[in-house]
Amino acid sequence: MTPAEREAHRLFVDADGNLRSAADGSLFDTAGGTTHWSGGGRAIFVMDSSGNLYATLDQRVGHTHHSSLLAGDSVVGAGEIEVTNGQLVAITDQSGHYRPEPHMNDRVLQSLRDQGFTPGADFKQYGWSGQER
């Protein structure tokens, strides 16, 4: 993706701790998303070294992958997210390209907390194998 295309996929944490699309300010929601690992209801994501979170609802083999979002550059973390009406419900380490270690998405969560995100009581974190951490 070019920087302009990437910007259309950037998310930010609003003052209420919700994830919003930088493109139009709407609350992000993964209900219509599809991923290679989990199927429906999630999006793939990456976070760059500046704490910018990028996600796409449409992962397609041979077309859109984790590496597409940052043009193959290194990441702080990568995987899948499940978001309901702006609320981050779950995060996984499932990225075939980046194969993140568990500590990487711990850093993603810390960065999101620093930006105002507070995990809800039902928040789940999953490892590479899909088991809850």
Q: Is residue 25 part of a domain?
A: yes
Q: Assign 98 a pLDDT band (cuts: 50, 70, 90).
A: low
Q: Is the pTM of this model over 0.75?
A: yes
Question: Would strands 53-56 and 43-47 be described as parallel, antiparallel, or unpaired?
Answer: antiparallel
Who has greater pLDDT, 27 or 104?
27
- Give the domain extent around 43: 3-125
Helix (H, G, I), strand (E, B) or coil at 87: strand
Q: Does residue 88 lie within any of the structural domains?
A: yes
Burial class (CB within 10 angstroms; exposed 0-12, middle 13-18, buried 19+) of 110: middle
Q: What is the pLDDT of residue 17?
A: 96
The percentage of residues in the chain with a pLDDT greater than 90, rounded to a whole number, is 45
132 in any annotated domain: no
How many other C-beta atoms lie within 10 A of the C-beta of residue 6?
17
The answer as to whether 120 is a domain residue is yes
CA-based radius of gyration for the chain? 13
